[in-house]
Amino acid sequence: MITTKEEYEEIVDAYGKAGGDKEALKSREIATLVVHENRVLSANEAEGIRIKWEQKEKGVRAELTVEEGKKIKHPVHLCFGILPKEGLQEIVLKINVQDGAEVRIIAHCIFPNAVNIIHKMDADIKIGNNAKFYYHETHYHGDSGGIKVIPKAKIEVGKKSVYQNTFSLIEGCVGRLDFNYEVSCGEKSVTELVAKVYGKKEDDIKISERVSLNGREARSLIKSRLVLRDKARAEVIGETYGNAPLARGHVDCTEIVDGEEAIAKAIPIVSVKNKEAKVTHEAAIGSIDKKQMQTLMARGLDEEEAVEIIVKGILK
């Protein structure tokens, strides 16, 4: 059993290796929450942000409130992780971005030694009116693939608000991912969901995103970018429902298959219940574009170097 201080230093170190800003975790001006397994190792509030938390048997329940009208200068840093090879972490996260508030969250989920780990996230996010909420989540996994990641979220976006979510899992093996987000969009709101995943070995990826454009003139984009190698398989379901006048939605999925046994599937579902709404979709699944390859090779790159550049670009 390691002490909390050693534990903290170890997870902060892993956070840095995963691309996180270690200095941000030490700053008193920046709101942070660091969770290892079911223990909160540090939590810091900043002006305009309140953080409540409670340790549970298998995880942590946290509540983050951004106060009305507060525009938070520095991004909030969240760090969730498990350093041992085995473990279970259940995070119940409630976020309330009040009217007129603006905040950017950078979350890192770190499992560098995973052999048999389950990480569950159950989020309930409420974005008030005229608010802006940006959430960027990056995962850093080890190479064994022995991990199940199950993020689920329900999000309500208020009138004239902006919600942007980026989920990125491109380091290490995915393991099994079951991603499920549901968004309800209010009048004149803007929602953007971006997922970028790099599947390798025997990774099993399921991404399901559902956006309901319930308010007049609500707009949304669901964008997925996946690259699959080896025996990885993926199913991406992007659903958008145009339920209100002048609502506009788009589903855009690209999956690159670069392995003999990799399997990709895209299921865009678009539905319109209002005659003035419009929802479109595009899905492209296939091997790496031949012309892109030829262009890079004509600049002197080998085939493998060209593939790497194209894949990096798609997942950037």
Partner 1 sequence: MSGANMLQIENLKLIVDDNPVINDLSLNVDKGEIHAVLGVNGTGKTTLAHLIMGVNYLPDDGKIIFEGEDITGYPISQRAKMGITLAWQEPARFEGLSVRDYLGLSNELETGEIEDYLWAVGLPPFQFLDRAVDTSLSGGERKRIELASVLAMRPKFAILDEVDSGIDVVSLPHIINGIVKMKSLGSSVLLITHSEVAIEIADKVSVMCAGKIFRMGSPKEMCQWFRENCQVCGHINVPS
Give me the phi and psi of 267, to 5 degrees please. Answer: -125, 90
Residue 6 tokens read as: 């050693």
Q: Is residue 5 at the binding interface for partner 1, with CB under 8 A as the rule? A: no
By beta-carbon proximity to partner 1, the closer residue of 66 and 296 is: 296
Footprint of partner 1 on 246-305 (CB under 8 A):
254, 289, 291-292, 294-303
Please report how close the Cβ of residue 256 comes to partner 1 at its closest, in angstroms: 10
**CA pair distance 293, 45, nearest whole angstrom:** 49
Q: Is residue 162 at the binding interface for partner 1, with CB under 8 A as the rule? A: no
At residue 86's C-alpha, the angle toward residues 178 and 138, to 5°, is 45
Single out the residue of 85, 88, 76 nearest to residue 137, CA to CA: 76
- Sign of the alpha-carbon dihedral angle for 93, 214, 197, 20: negative
Single out the residue of 190, 196, 302 nearest to residue 254, CA to CA: 196
Residue 186 tokens read as: 């209010």
Residue 222 tokens read as: 């669901």
Mark 164-203 with x for binding to partner 1 (rule: CB under 8 A) and - for no binding: ----------------------------------------
Please report how close the Cβ of residue 290 comes to partner 1 at its closest, in angstroms: 9
Mark 211-250 with x for binding to partner 1 (rule: CB under 8 A) and - for no binding: --------------x-------------------------
By beta-carbon proximity to partner 1, the closer residue of 2 and 284 is: 284
Q: Is residue 19 at the binding interface for partner 1, with CB under 8 A as the rule? A: no
Size of the site for partner 1 (CB under 8 A): 22
**CA pair distance 224, 236, nearest whole angstrom:** 8
Site residues for partner 1 per CB under 8 A? 225, 254, 289, 291-292, 294-303, 309-310, 312-316
